[in-house]
Amino acid sequence: MTGTADMLGRPLRDLRISVTDRCNLRCPYCMPAEVFGPDHAFLQRSGILTFEEIIRVVRLMTELGVRKVRLTGGEPLLRRELPELVRMIRDCRQIEDLALTTNGLLLDKLAQDLRDAGLGRVTVSLDAIDAGVFREMSGSTRSVSEVLGGIDAALASGLAIKINCVVRRGINEDQILPLAEYGRTLGIMVRFIEYMDVGNHNQWKPSDVVASREVRDVIAGVFPLESSPQGEPEETSVHYRYADGCGSVGFISSVSEPFCGGCRRARLSADGKLFTCLFATNGFDLRQPLRSNSTDRELREMVRGLWENRVDRYSELRAQMRKASRTKVEMSYVGG
């Protein structure tokens, strides 16, 4: 287990920015209705960070080591004028990697504009190829064919693509091989993610988790795998190559093999709260100092102090932390 002392020496590297705009409750591209019911209070537009405020935070955080930015949600493609934000971030020369995570339902309409604006990579969340399983996992009335069409459009635009699949026992285990084969056919890496207890609404149980080693064994039984060179030390996924040369597959094992000690990732919510962990209970409010004449130096030191004093280790301490009945931030609010 990696201790707190090991975490403190790791500088920021990766900033996830939730850019979800305020949208209609009935919007078919949004999160499931059981999460955002008829009485849910959405943010007013004035409560959401402007593009200029987002860019100011990005520039300040590059001074603390950030080199990767990922735009997330909710669903980031709902944000008005998103390609313009991509252009603004791309103008920050210190940013080496600019990516986006999406459910893919609007990707066919925006892929080329995003690519032209400077976006490099897209990760599409896709938990099933089968139409019925897709609807059950996504809670959406939309069709999986729309997501697949978005992936085709992104590939045609020149965007690099990855697929993320969360595997939940008893629901989409039978989609592991179809998704692996789909990725092999298109030359796309599919990353299989252990089902996590993010937020407070998914009724998570340890028995719901399909460990990465189980998923790997299922794939290797049909498509033999061999070890592959890994990425940067803070990379959350472990990669394997297909022995026949048809690409690679990845596994993110935050339940069975926690990696808190290697985390160099912070998350900025749409309303300006900064989180140092996906399982955090509270975020640090940056919107107020952004809008109250705080200097760049003051803002930078606020973030530096927050990062250097973090003690987030939820995945390593899951059993103890769950007994405390903590209310965790929702992924739809802070991004994946």
Q: Structural domain boundaries of the chain?
A: 4-334
Q: Taking a C-beta distance cutoff of 8 angstroms, is the pair 198, 252 a contact?
A: no
CATH assignment of 4-334, among 3.40.50.2300, 3.20.20.70, 3.10.20.30, 3.30.450.40:
3.20.20.70
- Alpha carbon distance 205, 88 (integer Å): 42
pLDDT of residue 29: 45
- The arithmetic mean of pLDDT across residues 257-271, rounded, is 78
pLDDT of residue 231: 63
Q: Could you tell me which residues come within 8 angstroms of residue 40 by beta carbon, excluding any fewer than 6 positions away?
A: 25
In this predicted structure, which of 10-19, 132-141, 246-255, 322-331 has the lowest mean pLDDT?
322-331
The confidence band for 35, taking pLDDT boundaries of 50, 70 and 90, is very low
pLDDT of residue 206: 82
Give the chain's mean pLDDT: 83
pLDDT, tens digit, 9 for 90 and up, residues 115-164: 999 999 999 999 999 999 999 988 878 899 999 999 999 999 999 999 99
- The arithmetic mean of pLDDT across residues 92-115, rounded, is 96
The confidence band for 279, taking pLDDT boundaries of 50, 70 and 90, is low
**pTM, full prediction:** 0.85
Q: Is pLDDT larger for residue 197 or for residue 174? A: 174
pLDDT of residue 335: 67
Q: Is pLDDT larger for residue 24 or for residue 252? A: 252
Q: Mind giving me the DSSP string for 122-171?
A: EEEE---SSHHHHHHHH--SS-HHHHHHHHHHHHHHT-EEEEEEEEBTTT
